[in-house]
Amino acid sequence: MNSLTPLLDTIRISLHIAAVAVWVGGQLVVAAIVPKLRNDHREALPLVAQGFARVAWPAFFIAIATGMWSLMAVDVGSTTTGYQVAMMLKVLAVLLSGAAAAVHSAGSSRAAKAIGGAFGLVFALTALVLGVLIRSGA
């Protein structure tokens, strides 16, 4: 073990958690305020969406990069089948979360925005829970 390993691990994990907090937590916050904005301040919706996107998409890509970095730090061949299954499901959930959020962002219909947003959040929460499961020793 290199003397820098604990520092690099701390940086990697901290960046990953912060990015995931922005991606998942931001979706929860936006989902909570959209109904009120839709009723009382419809003109503010695009501004909120654009502001969130400026922060959320970079966070999503930071979470992916730090997740890949974390995966490279593991000898996957020596992990349990449970770990490997949980990791594959987490990667799938992350990809589906991003795809659904992209549908939401690019969608022009209310249905596309609603379905994309809902599935984006569900898959983001799924990835978060699987990440906790993995860290706790799946």
Nearest to 99 by CA among 118, 116, 122: 116
pLDDT digits (tens, 9 = 90+) for 60-90: 999 999 999 999 999 989 999 999 999 999 9
Domain ranges of the chain: 5-135
- DSSP codes of every residue in 24-69: IIHHHHHHHHHHHHHHH-GGGHHHHHHHHHHHHHHHHHHHHHHHHH
Nearest to 120 by CA among 68, 69, 60, 64: 60
pLDDT digits (tens, 9 = 90+) for 88-124: 999 999 999 999 999 999 999 989 999 999 999 999 9
Side chain identity, residue 51: G
Whether 6 has a pLDDT exceeding 60, the answer reads yes
Whether 44 has a pLDDT exceeding 70, the answer reads yes
Average pLDDT over residues 115-137: 95
| pTM reported for the whole predicted model | 0.91
